[in-house]
């Protein structure tokens, strides 16, 4: 007996012909998925590079603006000592012809320090008569006062300074409290 084998061959042919299309379709879908993933990774990498670049630029700008902070703090003590020396000279010695040149030189040095501070963005904190600001002032003592509102700076013990928009040194102050 002879069997009809043509039907299975036809089935095999259809399956064989259909398989490459399915395999190629699966491969195309897989490649498209990989391409989408690669595009996402490139976008993430670009965003990360932008963030790194911005962060580096900000750090460089901060280093330029605030790099001299420690040096400036050290120089403040020199400025303080010069101011104390000038304030300690009595008026009669200021008028003495022998000391006039010395006093004038010390005053000029004080003005030059202030000028250098100004060129580098270092400014004095105005404290007298201001309301206590813990971001700029450090209260050292409370003084009873009938003239000033409680919390108002009534005495400056040590001048405070800012470097650009950052605190370099707080002003040491005495603050008014309600009088007894």
Q: What does the alpha-carbon distance between residue 167 and residue 61 come to, in Å, rounded to a whole number? A: 17
Query: Residue 148: helix, strand or coil by DSSP?
Result: coil
Q: Are 172 and 157 in contact (CB under 8 A)?
A: yes
**Partners of residue 173 on adjacent β-strands:** 139, 156
Q: What does the alpha-carbon distance between residue 144 and residue 37 come to, in Å, rounded to a whole number? A: 71
Q: What does the pLDDT read at residue 22? A: 67
Q: Which pLDDT tens digits describe the chain residue by residue (180 residues)? A: 455 555 555 444 555 455 566 678 888 999 999 999 999 999 999 999 999 999 999 999 888 878 888 889 999 999 999 999 999 999 888 888 888 889 999 999 999 999 999 998 999 999 999 999 999 999 999 999 888 899 999 999 999 999 989 999 999 999 999 766
Instruction: State in Å, rounded, how far the first CA of the chain is from the last one.
Output: 129
Here the tokens at position 17 are: 């012909």
Cβ count near 87 (within 10 Å): 7
Confidence (pTM): 0.66
């Amino acid at each position: 007996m002879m069997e009809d084998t043509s039907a299975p061959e036809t089935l095999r042919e259809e399956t064989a012909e259909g398989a490459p299309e399915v395999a190629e379709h699966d491969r195309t879908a897989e490649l498209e998925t990989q391409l989408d993933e690669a595009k996402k990774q490139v976008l993430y990498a670009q965003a990360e590079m932008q963030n790194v670049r911005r962060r580096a630029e900000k750090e460089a700008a901060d280093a330029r603006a605030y790099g001299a902070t420690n040096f400036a703090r050290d120089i403040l003590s020199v400025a303080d000592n010069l101011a104390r020396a000038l304030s300690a000279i009595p008026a009669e010695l200021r008028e003495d012809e022998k000391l006039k040149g010395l006093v004038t030189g010390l005053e000029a040095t004080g003005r030059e320090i202030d000028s250098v501070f100004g060129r580098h963005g270092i400014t004095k904190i105005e404290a007298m008569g201001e309301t206590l600001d813990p971001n700029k002032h450090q209260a050292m003592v409370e003084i009873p006062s009938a003239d000033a509102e409680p919390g108002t700076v009534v005495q400056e013990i040590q001048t405070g300074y800012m470097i650009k928009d950052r605190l370099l040194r707080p002003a040491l102050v005495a603050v008014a409290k309600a009088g007894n």
